[in-house]
Amino acid sequence: MSEEGFEVHGPHDHEIEHASAHGGQSMTAQIAMFTAIIATFGAIFGYMAGATQADAGLFKNNAAIIKTEAANKWNYYQAKSSKQNLWELALDVAPKTRVEFYTTEIARYKTEKAEIKKDAEKLEAEAKEWEERSDHEMHNHHRWAQATTVLQVCVALAAIALLTRKEWLKKCMYGVGGLGLILGAVAYFHI
């Protein structure tokens, strides 16, 4: 204040008065706060995208291991079938004294094959379940990745809104941020 009671306000004083008159909620503060919140959700969504992708890979790996076990069972089944076929052929040409032995062996191979087939089919069903879990996790991964990407666009819009001071960009930023949060909710609820 000067000696005559005349006071000159600078641009900074005007901004402070304006901010205090509007509850201290300047556009910069609003955007900064919104950006911090969105960035936090973006980090969480990014983590979830990575975690679901890793789970999908593990589930796919489990399916491949179990498919290999099933293939081994089917190979064993085929080997038993070949031996059974040889005994059936031998039965046709065998002397009568060996017929009972070959008949017993054929019955044994049929029983063993039935157990092997049951195990192989069970392994195939388990592998299919792992495949389905993997597919589900990849779908969910894509949802998390979409939410993360939309939130990254929101942060970019926030930076542009801060630089240009355009109110319509701020509204776009809020809309895109809301969309990103909705996509995150969709991923969370596995929709």
151-183 b/e (C-beta count within 10 Å ≥ 16 → b): bbbbbebbeebbeeeeeebbebbbebbebbbeb
* pLDDT attached to residue 92: 87
Per-residue tokens: 151? 């939130």
How many CB atoms neighbour CB 121 within 10 A? 13
Give the residue carrying structure tokens 């300047």.
26
Domains of the chain by residue range: 28-188
Q: Give the mean pLDDT of the chain.
A: 91
Give the residue carrying structure tokens 């179990």.
66
pLDDT in tens, 10-54: 555 555 565 555 554 688 999 999 999 999 999 999 999 999 999
Which whole-number Å values give the CA distances from 133 to 57, 63, 138, in the listed order?
10, 10, 9
**How much of the chain exceeds pLDDT 90, in percent?**
82
The one-character DSSP state at 2 is -
pTM: 0.75
